[in-house]
Homo-oligomer: A and B are copies of this chain.
Amino acid sequence: MPDEPQDQHDSVGAWAKKYYLTSRALIESVLREHDLGPTQWYVLYQLANVSATKQRDLSQLLNIERATLSGVVATLVRKGLVAQVADEVDQRQRILSITDAGRALWAELPDPVGRATALSFDGVDAADLEVARRVLREATQRLVEHMAGPGSAGA
């Protein structure tokens, strides 16, 4: 999505977008050197630092649709970084785990998210951060309520 036309070009909303897209671009440029996308990185993060995880749970953890995760996992399996096996008990569910190759790759990966966050907010006044967080949280909440509520424009 492009920037808003001039009008609201300097609003909180416009800057939230710009910030998000910029940090995303930074993260992606770092990960590109390792042929990974951000979502792939998150999956690896989860499997490497937490544990093997059911695909269904992972989609909730990452806040993405099953269908989307399905594709991401397929990519990681194709690259040999992740293994996907059916659960013994419930054959519908797939359990994801990191492979040796995946762990080897993970060991040499940077933490692009942590780096971007530090770069963005280290040294900023804590009270200001709190205000910014609250403004964005409340705005998001209003949007969510609006979508769930009246015309319920689906989404």
- A residues with a Cβ closer than 8 A to B are 1-5, 8, 10-13, 15-26, 28-30, 32-33, 38-39, 42, 45-46, 49-50, 61-64, 113-114, 116-117, 119-121, 124, 128-129, 131-140, 142-144, 146-147, 153-155
Q: Which of A11, A20, A46, A113 has the most CB of B within 10 A?
A: A20
Question: How many copies of this chain does one complex carry?
Answer: 2
A-B pairs with beta carbons under 8 Å apart, 17 shown: A2-B39, A2-B62, A8-B113, A10-B133, A12-B120, A13-B23, A16-B19, A19-B136, A23-B143, A26-B153, A28-B155, A29-B153, A29-B154, A32-B154, A33-B153, A128-B134, A128-B135
* B136/A132 in contact, CB under 8 A: yes
